[in-house]
Amino acid sequence: MSDRILCKFFVHGSCLKGEICEYSHDSKNPVNNVCTFYQKGICLYGSRCRYHHVTTTPASNLPPSPPLTSDSESESTNLQQQDNNDIEKSSNVYCIHPREYPICSFAAAGDCPRGNHCPHMHGDLCTTCGKKCLHPFRPEEREEHTKECEKKQKHIEALKQSQDIECSVCLDRILSKPTPGERKFGLLTECDHPFCIQCIRNWRSSAPVSGMDVNSTLRACPICRKLSYFVVPSVVWYSSPDEKKEIIDIYKAKLRSIDCKHFNFGNGNCPFGASCFYKHAYSDGHLEEVVLRHLGSQEGETVIADNLRLSEFLGGLQIF
Amino acid sequence: MIDYGRVQKELVDCEKNKDASGVRVSPKSDNLTRLTGTIPGPIGTPYEGGTFQIDITIPEDYPFEPPKMQFSTKVWHPNISSQSGAICLDILKDQWSPALTLKTALVSIQALLSAPEPKDPQDAVVAEQYIKNYQVFVSTARYWTETFAKNSSLAEKVRKLVEMGFGEAQVRSAIESSGGDENVALEKLCSG
C-alpha cells in the first residue's frame, strides 16, 4: 500500500472511484503533485495550476537526462527527443504537444490585459506589426505571418506616400476622393505623371475635336504629351520603376485571366488580335494560337496582315 | 457636367499668385460658368500699359474641353479678331489638354500678344498690315491700346467728353448708365 502514489483526486476531495481507486487514498503516502505540462515546457494554467510547477520531480522516477552538449541546437534536439520519449512512454496519458495549443487571442490582437497571469500561451512579439502573435512552436506559421506582415507594411507605407499626390486634371488629392472607386491612380506606361483613373479615362475617351490628332492629344499625357497606349489602374502610387513594372505586370496578369468579350470563345473577332490583354481561349479551354502574317508593303516596310478572307477577293472579281 | 470644384480651386490659385503673374480671373455671375480674365499687356510691345479683359465661358465638359475665351477689350493683333475679339490659339482648340488651367491659358494669350503669328491669322487685315507695313501696325496697336485698354479715371472720362461739347450732368449720367465705358457713353450721347 505504501508504494502506491497518492490519488490526485482524493487530495482535492473529488475521487469518484472511492475504494476501488488504483491510487492510494492514504494521505501519508508521498504526493505526486507535479505538473507534467510545466515540465514539458508550458502549462496553460500558469500560476493558477493546481499542480506544482517544479522542473525536477521530487521522487525522481524519471531516467537521468542524457548529457547535454554546449551547442544550443543539439540541446533543443535532445529536449525534443526527450519529449518524444515521454510521449511514447506515457502514451496512455493525455498529453498534447505545445504546438497544438492556440495562442491567447488577446495577445495576438495586440496585448493581453492579464499579462503574465493569463492562463493562455502568449505569442512572441512581431516587430513589424507590434502584436504578440508569433506562435512559439509553429515555425511555418511564424514565417508566413512575418512575410504577410511585411507585405502589408509595405502597402501601408506606399499608401502613406501616395496620400498627398494630386491629380493634375481635377486638382484633387486622389486618395481623398469621396468614393472608394475614385480613389485610384491611373498610371501611364510611358511617363510618371499622376492622374486619378476617372480623369485620365475621361480625357482619353472624350470625343476628338476636328483637326485633332488623337495620338498627340487624347492618348498623350496631358502634361508632357508623351504617347501611352494604355492606362493601368492602381490603388497606390509607385516610388521606383521596378514598383511601376510590378503594378503593370500584376494588372496584365489579371486581365489575362479574364475571357475577352470580343473574342467570345472563338465565336467573335477581337480587333486587338494578338496584342489583346484579355484571354483568347476557345470554349474547350485551349488558347488561340497566334500566327502573324508579315507582308512586304509597297514602301519596303514589313506590315502585319489582318485576317484575310477568300470572300473578300472573290467579291472583287468580275466574271465575264 | 462642369467640375466646379476644379474651377473654384483655379480661382483660388489665381488669386494667390495674381501679383507674380498679373493674370486675374473673377466670376461674372455666381454660377462660375462665365468668368472674366484680365491680363496686362506685355512690356516692350505695343500693348504695354494696357489691361485686357477676356470673356471666359466654361463649357459643359470642362476640363476635358477647352474654355471658350474671347477678348472683350478691342485689340489690334493678327491672331485676334479686331471685330469680335475671337482668339486664334492652338491650345484653346485642338491642342487643349486637361492639365492646362484658366491661368495657363491666359498666360499663353499674354505670350501670344508679345509673339504674333501673322502666317496663321485670325484677322486678315491686321495680319496683312503686320507683314507689309509693320510701323503702321505698331502705331495702330498702340493707339488701340491707349483708347480701349487703358482704364482712365472717371474724372478724366468726364473731362474728355465735356471737352467734346456735352453738358457735364448729361455726361455723368451717360457714363454711369454705360457701366463706365466712355465709348458706349459717347455713342449714347451722340444718339440721344
Tell me the ipTM for this assembly.
0.72
**Residue spans of alpha helices (H) in A20-71:** 36-40
pLDDT band at A31 (very low <50, low <70, confident <90, very high): low
Interface touch B6/A223, C-beta < 8 Å: no
Told to judge if B14 belongs to the known catalytic residues of this protein, a careful annotator would answer no
Query: Are the beta carbons of B98 and A203 separated by less than 8 Å?
Result: yes
DSSP character at residue A317: -
Distance CA A96, CA A101 (A): 8
**Chain B residues touching A211 at Cβ < 8 A:** 93-94
Question: Which is more confidently placed, A17 or B142?
Answer: B142
Question: Does residue B49 register a pLDDT over 60?
Answer: yes
Percent of chain A with pLDDT over 90: 9
- Three-state DSSP state, A216: coil
Q: Check residue A174 and report its DSSP letter.
A: G
B97 touches chain A (CB under 8 A): yes
Grid cell, residue A255, equals: 486581365
Pick from A40, A43, A92: nearest CA to A62: A40
Lowest mean pLDDT among A122-131, A252-261, A294-303, B20-29: A294-303
Q: Do A217 and B98 touch (CB under 8 A)?
A: no
The length of chain A, given as a count of residues:
320
How confident is residue B106, by pLDDT bands cut at 50, 70 and 90?
very high
Amino acid at A35: C
Greater model confidence, B182 or B120: B120
Edge-to-edge order in the sheet of strand B51-57: B24-27, B34-40, B51-57, B68-71
User: What amino acid occupies position A34?
Assistant: V
Alpha helices in A56-167 (DSSP H): 72-89, 105-108, 139-162
Least reliable range by pLDDT among A74-83, B54-63, B98-107: A74-83
Mean pLDDT confidence for A110-128: 81
Mutate to test the interface with B, among A171, A198, A224 (most CBs of B within 10 A): A171
Position A276 scores a pLDDT of: 87
Per-residue pLDDT, A155 = 85
Q: How far, in Å, CA of A215 to CA of A229, rounded?
A: 9
Q: Which residues fall within 8 angstroms of residue A243, CB to CB, at 6 or more apart?
A: A158
Cα separations in angstroms, A179 against A172, A174, A183, A198, B191: 13, 11, 7, 11, 60
What is the nearest CA distance from A271 to chain B, expressed in angstroms? 27
Cβ burial, residue B127 (10 Å; 0-12/13-18/19+):
buried
Name the amino acid, one letter, at B121.
P
Cβ-based burial of B93 (10 A; exposed 0-12, middle 13-18, buried ≥19): middle
Find the residue in B nearest to A195 (Cα).
B99
Hey, is the C-beta of B12 within 8 angstroms of any chain A C-beta?
no
DSSP code, position A207: P
Q: How far is B101 from chain A (nearest CA, A)?
A: 9
CB contact A147 to B (< 8 Å): no
Cell of A168: 493634375
Higher-confidence residue of A92 and B165: namely: B165
* A vs B: CB pairs below 8 A: 44
CB nearest to B97's CB, from A171, A213, A222: A222
Taking a C-beta distance cutoff of 8 angstroms, is the pair B129, B62 a contact?
Answer: no
Instruction: Say if CB A96 and CB A85 are below 8 A apart.
Output: no
Say yes or no: B6 contacts chain A, CB-CB below 8 A. Answer: yes
Q: Show the DSSP H helices in chain B as ranges.
A: 4-16, 18-21, 102-114, 124-132, 134-148, 154-163, 168-177, 182-191
Question: Three cell numbers at B35?
Answer: 468668368
Name which of B9, B16, B88, B94 to mutate to probe chain A: the one with the most chain A Cβ atoms within 10 A of its Cβ: B94
DSSP SS3 for A304: strand
